[in-house]
């Protein structure tokens, strides 16, 4: 029988405090409150983890708060709550791994040594590239953009597969992710209806950004949440929980569409095709998904007319993507070995010949994860970066037979489809290196590794 669990009073009280604070900040947003809470945030985070004293509590809080940590509140200058939370996540993760290190942890690390060695080798190459391109970029920004994010992703993956062992802990993390996704969807829906607050919508472009700095980031987040929520829906038995999941998916799809990010829509379509190909009754599944997506798209068109106007500029958007990516390729040709660092825009401004392309002039960074990574870090970093994806694909291929035999097979198939969809969107946007998005990609990967290591898990009865 599935394990019946619920949150204890201590955890519910923490959720209530966080939710109340979040609503208060949305409504008030006073600079004084921002500064006060930002100054107190490290103390509050440490106090919370001191009370809960376990890695699962750390992951619950992290995955609950990271999508809600908007850069437009809880920030002073360039420092945001999301950055503080990410730095603390890295430090807490390392501390948790060291304090809980045992023979089993050593065995797991050894089993996946190729993955983690590749990660740390990539960090080493990244530091060398940063030093070589020091004249073209800010060293702190370079290290934060690559080395810190790589360490964070590797640490979170490792702590997830070594320290999260019980079904109870896993289900609590899932619940935190769903609640957070629901809140982001509510913020986006409010912005659609009222065209406010200003930090949740680009008034000029009429594109929804929600709790993220730009609409492309919101699109990547909602894409990942659509497949996560869909996987839970396909496994859920409780009709009331299914209704809740439908509301989460609906809000995510509407937010995705109203972000007006075509790469996100393309990613979702490719992801759905991948999911249909992995499931039985392919024709029926295709028709069901087609009907649902059509209904949600029509709903979004009705409540948000700017979508129609956006569709009229498809050719213009295509030429824009071609021009920025072509400029990126020209940078690669001229700075093949170590790239130009993080300041591509300054390089384009400094050398006009690089920004002129057959598709028009470009003054922006390439809108493609792989071209941008190559242009900024060079060939050695790029090859090492590709090798990590090779390892991920190899491990998922090895796990696929277990996925087919799993009682939660639809959930795992949705995770794989979500990873595919996210990488497709990364071909049109630079989302992978944004820590609030990359963590979910590696969460899905860690869940697949956990299936191989711990076997199936049980959903609670209320799901």
pLDDT tens digits, residue range 136-190?
555 556 666 677 778 888 888 888 888 887 888 888 889 889 999 998 999 888 8
Q: Mean pLDDT throughout 270-294?
A: 76
Q: Kindly list the distances between the CA atom of residue 322 and the CA atoms of 156, 250, 357, 364, 423, in Å, as whole numbers in the listed order.
A: 35, 32, 9, 12, 18
Those residues whose C-beta lies under 8 Å from the C-beta of residue 328, and which sit 6 or more positions away, are: 344, 365, 366, 368, 371, 372, 374, 375
How does pLDDT run across 401-433, given as a tens digit for each residue? 999 889 899 999 999 999 999 999 999 888 888
Matching residue, tokens 């290196």? 433
Q: Whole-angstrom Cα distance, residue 293 to residue 258? A: 14
DSSP run (H or E) holding 222: helix 215-235
How does pLDDT run across 207-228, given as a tens digit for each residue? 888 888 888 899 999 999 999 9
Q: What is the mean pLDDT of the chain?
A: 77
Matching residue, tokens 């490290």? 42
Count, residues in the chain: 463
Q: Whole-angstrom Cα distance, residue 244 to residue 198? A: 28
Q: What is the largest CA-CA distance in the chain?
A: 67
List the structure tokens of 243.
């209704």
Tell me the pTM.
0.84
Give me the percent of the chain exceeding a pLDDT of 90: 18
Q: Does the bond joining 197 to the residue before it have cis omega, within 30 degrees of 0?
A: yes
Residue 220: per-residue pLDDT: 93
**Residue 12 binned pLDDT confidence (cut-offs 50, 70, 90):** low
Closest CA to 129 of 366, 307, 381: 381
């Amino acid at each position: 029988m599935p394990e019946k669990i619920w949150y204890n009073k201590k955890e519910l009280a923490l959720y209530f405090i966080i939710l109340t604070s979040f609503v208060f900040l949305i409504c008030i947003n006073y600079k004084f409150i921002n500064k006060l809470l930002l100054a107190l945030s490290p103390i509050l985070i440490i106090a919370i983890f001191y009370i809960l004293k376990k890695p699962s509590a750390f992951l619950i809080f992290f995955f609950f708060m990271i999508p809600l940590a908007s850069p437009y509140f809880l920030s002073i200058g360039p420092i945001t709550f999301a950055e503080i939370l990410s730095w603390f996540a890295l430090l807490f993760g390392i501390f948790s791994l060291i304090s809980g290190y045992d023979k089993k942890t050593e065995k797991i690390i050894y089993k996946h040594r190729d993955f983690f060695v590749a990660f740390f080798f990539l960090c080493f190459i990244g530091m060398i590239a940063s030093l070589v391109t020091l004249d073209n970029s800010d060293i702190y920004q370079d290290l934060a953009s690559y080395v810190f994010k790589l360490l964070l992703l590797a640490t979170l993956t490792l702590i997830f597969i070594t320290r999260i062992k019980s079904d109870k802990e896993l289900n609590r993390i899932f619940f935190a992710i769903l609640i957070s996704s629901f809140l982001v969807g509510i913020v986006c829906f409010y912005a659609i209806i009222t065209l406010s607050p200003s930090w949740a919508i680009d008034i000029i472009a009429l594109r929804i950004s929600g709790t993220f700095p730009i609409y492309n980031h919101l699109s990547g987040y909602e894409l990942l949440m659509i497949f996560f929520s869909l996987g839970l829906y396909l496994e859920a038995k409780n009709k009331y929980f299914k209704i809740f999941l439908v509301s989460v998916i609906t809000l995510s799809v509407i937010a995705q569409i109203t972000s007006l990010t075509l790469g996100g829509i393309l990613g979702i379509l490719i992801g759905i095709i991948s999911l249909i190909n992995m499931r039985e009754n392919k024709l029926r599944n295709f028709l069901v998904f087609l009907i649902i997506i059509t209904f949600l798209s029509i709903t979004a068109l009705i409540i948000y007319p700017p979508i129609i106007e956006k569709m009229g500029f498809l050719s213009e958007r295509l030429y824009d993507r071609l021009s920025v990516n072509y400029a990126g390729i020209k940078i690669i040709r001229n700075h093949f070995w170590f790239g130009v660092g993080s300041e591509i825009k300054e390089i384009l401004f400094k050398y006009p010949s690089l920004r002129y392309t057959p598709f028009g002039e470009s003054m922006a960074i390439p809108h493609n994860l792989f071209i941008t990574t190559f242009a900024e870090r060079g060939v050695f970093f790029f090859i090492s970066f590709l090798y990590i994806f090779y390892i991920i694909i190899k491990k998922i291929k090895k796990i696929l037979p277990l996925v087919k035999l799993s009682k939660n097979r639809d959930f795992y198939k949705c995770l794989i489809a979500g990873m595919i969809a996210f990488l497709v969107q990364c071909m049109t946007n630079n989302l992978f290196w944004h820590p609030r998005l990359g963590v979910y990609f590696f969460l899905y990967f860690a869940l697949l590794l956990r299936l191989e290591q711990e076997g199936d898990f049980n959903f609670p009865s209320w799901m």
